[in-house]
Amino acid sequence: MHLRVLAIAATAPAILAPAAAVKSDHQVTDLDKAKKAFCGFEAPRVGPRRMEESLYPRLNPTEDLSVDVYVHVLARPEEKKHNESEFLLTRRDLERQMDVINKSFKPTNISFGLKEVDWIVTEQLTSYEDEKIYGLVRNEEFKSLRKGGKSALNLYFFNATDTVGGLTGRRSKPDEISGCFVSSNTVPGGANPRFNMGKTAVHEIGHWLGCHLHSDLGINCGSELEE
């Protein structure tokens, strides 16, 4: 039963691997000043860490699971390019990201299908180094963007100019958006040379699936889950 979870955890160290030679259609921003990688996921603090009941079927490696994915590319007003419907990330950038996600989760028999993409201009974004970053998962504007059923994955990409990383809202918290916020600089070929293999999204999706502690933190998340 833990085999699938362990496979998910095994993808996490790749976030720190040297970048592959993939060129993005858009260089999102100059991240030479990036200070650190960031993961804003907060694991449950009460009782043993365990998978939500609705996610139990995902632990069975003998069954295939297909997850619908809806992507929202968020940009500050000054980041929207004139007369372009696609900004920060193009459809091709996102297709490359989806390829990395599917290859990473292939050992678990979980596949992800990109259903829809929208490009949104918003003034609700904040710095990754600002404590307000945690409010993104509770932001009503972004909550209204969510699409698909309860089992659908919503990915929110935006430009984290001061660092790279992600943030995941928990399905078990009704006030949080069920989905992942990821720095748009971390897609394959993105602007950050250290974190542009697309593995940051994989890491956050692992949290979304219920893997609370990744192995790159020195803890095997499979041992943290109850049967």
Active centre residues (catalytic): 204
Q: Rounded to an integer, what distance in angstroms lies between the CA atom of residue 214 and that of residue 222?
A: 9
Question: Based on the number of CB atoms within 10 Å of its own CB, is 28 exposed (0-12), middle (13-18) or buried (19 or more)?
Answer: buried
Within 8 A by CB and 6+ apart from 19, the residues are: 193, 194, 195, 196, 197
Computed from CA positions of residues 190, 162, 40, 122, in that sequence, does the dihedral angle turn out positive or negative? negative
Q: Which two tokens stand for residue 191?
A: 């602007």
Phi, psi for residue 113 in degrees, rounded to 5 = -115, 125
